[in-house]
Structure 1
Amino acid sequence: MRPEGPEEPEEPEEPEEGDTRMGIVDTVVVGGGPAGLSAALYLARYNREVLVFDTGHGRSTHHQTNHNYLGFPDGVPTVDLRKLGREQLARYPRARVLGHLVTHAEGDAGQGFTVRSQGHSWRARSLVLATGVLDHFPHFAGWEPYVGRSMFWCIACDGYENRGRSILVVGHTDAAAGEAMQLHSLTDRVRLLTNSASDEISPKFRRRLAAAGIPVVHDRIAEAEGADGMLSAVVTREGRRLELDALFSIQGATPETALARQLGVRLAPTGYVAVDSEQRTSVPGVYAAGDLTALHSHQVTAAVHEGAQAASAANYFLHPPELKAD
């Protein structure tokens, strides 16, 4: 299910000039979040022909306001940042955004790459993968509207706004325990709910939690109370009612690597796409940017930077040999 309220993607178009019948475009960017839009903008400004595939899903379609992006004193809702990015990109006639879901990618730098969706296909000389991650939020009836408003996943993004508030950390691992300890520096009202049949918090972290006065509740969420995206309590399966101001979900995320694996791109031991300092993957002509590339540092600022770097590297890759210094 998708969260309530994000922008609607463009309706998928029928094949027209610009797909395989026209030939081959310079770059296909898969993903229309900050990383993908940044890459597309840079490529457009390099005067490259670029297609962006955006289904309107992902972290940047939730309701959160980003307070870490330089130049927005009051913060900027990520849906607005996406909208501004789309408007900015629309000024470049060689860039287009399509609402197709890309389900398959194949090819190589010698012959070009093909992406497929809904019976259509497009060819490109290079690819930028900006497909992001799938977050594992607690699922209870009506959970989606709370995401980004009172249910968060990132202390760097939303911890500051929750200083002094009652916070429930949800997760059953040492990573969740560590997040609870970090949040304790912002408020002394922190509890941890495993929300799992298993409790994998190590004795070391359990001692640290106890020393900080952070209780651990080994139970699962049955339902939630709240209105207008603001949680007020969760009720567990064993009948506990835990009042709260904010919930931080530390249940992990899965990188969306299906296309990367189809292309034979090397993955890091963490399961994320391995890239070098220029966002190059192990497959020449294929680049990756944004949350897809690292277990940590999932920030809009990092995504925009990586998108720009991937585009610059792709642009250099597309130059003929006589224009290259190496």
Structure 2
Amino acid sequence: MSSRVPRSVGQAVDSAVVGGGPAGLSAAIYLARYNRQVLVFDTGQGRSTHHQVNHNYLGFPDGVATVDLRKLAAEQLGNYPNARIVRHRVTDIEGNAEGGFVLHAQGHTWQARTLVLATGVLDHFPHFPGWQSYVGHSMFWCITCDGYENRGRSILVVGHTDAAAGEAMQLHSLTDRVRLLTNSRSDDISPLFRRRLDAAGIQVVHDRIKEAEGRDGTLRAIVTRDGLRLELDALFSIQGATPETQLARQLGVHLSPTGYIAVDTEQKTSITGVYAAGDATSLHSHQVTAAVHEGAQAASAANYFLYPPELRAD
């Protein structure tokens, strides 16, 4: 698929999809199949660019690498001449007088009648020399995605809150070799969860990561600032994530109390013509399956909005 970028403002597309992960590509494919003119902005970043293999997605008996799923989806979208991908980061979006939207990206400008925001989240992985090479190989963030493959193994949970303690307790159902490292100046685990961890025999280490031992994506040990060497097979980072909502906030889209984009069951936001899908919309259920569904629903709602009044049932 061509990623050539126009140098001037052209005729407005029916929908601009911001984000090229599973949610955005699902939305784009659905919109293309509704015969809409679709423009996808993909910077090649996000969770689906990590190295992990997804074993939860229907139809792949041996699992599918998320990067391969993303590549296959882009190839699938490439079958539609009315859809294209541009490799630009959208920096600003504003409404225009005709009721659509103007998107600015790296000196270029586009127009769209509707928007689908599939901007994802920024995960807060522990940072140490070479940390990126371990993400998806032996450093994970999701028990639903990667817990099963790590049953019986030595797991280090990293986080300083009750959410991390809860994850450690859940992982304990898969292996009896679980420890928790706060990796923070503060230890905010409540007395209730501390008692639960103690009862399960889960050691809590209040220290911070200095460096890691490992190679080729496989962690062998974490060395703390106090000099402890914690051997492990896998690390589960429970340090949270920040939804990428800068563009939504710029448009005045309502956010949930947790900071995610607020949507209804049709993925509609508080702004007419703006839809959102994927991890940026929810604190829970951050799964590829959910992202693909939400992208499809957002596209269907946007398509219905674009129909003239005589084609609507309402």
Secondary structure in 1 matching 2:15? strand
Q: Hey, what does 1:229 align to over in structure 2?
A: 217
Q: Indicate conservation of the 8 Å contact 1:115/1:123, yes or no.
A: yes
Secondary structure in 1 matching 2:198? helix
Q: 1:106: how far off? A: 1.2
Q: 1:108: how far off? A: 6.0
Q: 1:218 aligns with which of 189, 206, 228?
A: 206
Which deviations, in whole Å up to 9, do the C-alpha atoms of 1:85-130 show, x marking residues without a partner? 0110000000000000001111169521011111111000000000
Q: Indicate conservation of the 8 Å contact 1:34/1:300, yes or no.
A: yes
Q: Are positions 1:247 and 2:238 aligned together?
A: no
Q: 1:324: how far off? A: 0.6
Amino acid at match of 2:165: A
TM-score after normalising by structure 1: 0.95
TM-score after normalising by structure 2: 0.98
Q: Indicate conservation of the 8 Å contact 1:37/1:85, yes or no.
A: yes
How many Å separate the matches in 2 of 1:70 and 1:109? 43
Secondary structure in 1 matching 2:71? helix
Q: Measured at CA, do residues 229 and 319 of structure 1 come closer, stay the same or move farther in structure 2, by a change above 3 Å?
A: same
Q: Hey, what does 1:118 align to over in structure 2?
A: 106
Q: Indicate conservation of the 8 Å contact 2:5/2:86, yes or no.
A: no
Q: Are positions 1:265 and 2:253 aligned together?
A: yes
Q: 1:10: how far off? A: 7.7
- Note the 1:1-326 alignment, pairs <5 A: 13-16=4-7, 20=9, 22-107=10-95, 110-326=98-314
Runs of 5+ unmatched residues, structure 1: 1-8
How many Å separate the matches in 1 of 2:36 and 2:97? 17
How many Å separate the matches in 1 of 2:292 and 2:53? 16
How many Å separate the matches in 2 of 1:39 and 1:173? 35
Q: Indicate conservation of the 8 Å contact 1:224/1:235, yes or no.
A: yes
Q: 1:48: how far off? A: 0.2
How many Å separate the matches in 1 of 2:47 and 2:97? 30
Q: Deviation above 6 Å: which 4+ runs of structure 1?
A: none
Q: Measured at CA, do residues 320 and 77 of structure 1 come closer, stay the same or move farther in structure 2, by a change above 3 Å?
A: same
Which deviations, in whole Å up to 9, do the C-alpha atoms of 1:176-200 show, x marking residues without a partner? 0000000000000000000000000
How many Å separate the matches in 2 of 1:117 and 1:161? 40
Q: Indicate conservation of the 8 Å contact 2:24/2:118, yes or no.
A: yes
Q: Indicate conservation of the 8 Å contact 2:222/2:229, yes or no.
A: yes
How many Å separate the matches in 1 of 2:302 and 2:186? 45
How many Å separate the matches in 2 of 1:166 and 1:111? 55
How many Å separate the matches in 2 of 1:248 and 1:101? 30
How many Å separate the matches in 1 of 2:96 and 2:248? 12
Amino acid at match of 1:318: L
Secondary structure in 2 matching 1:93? coil
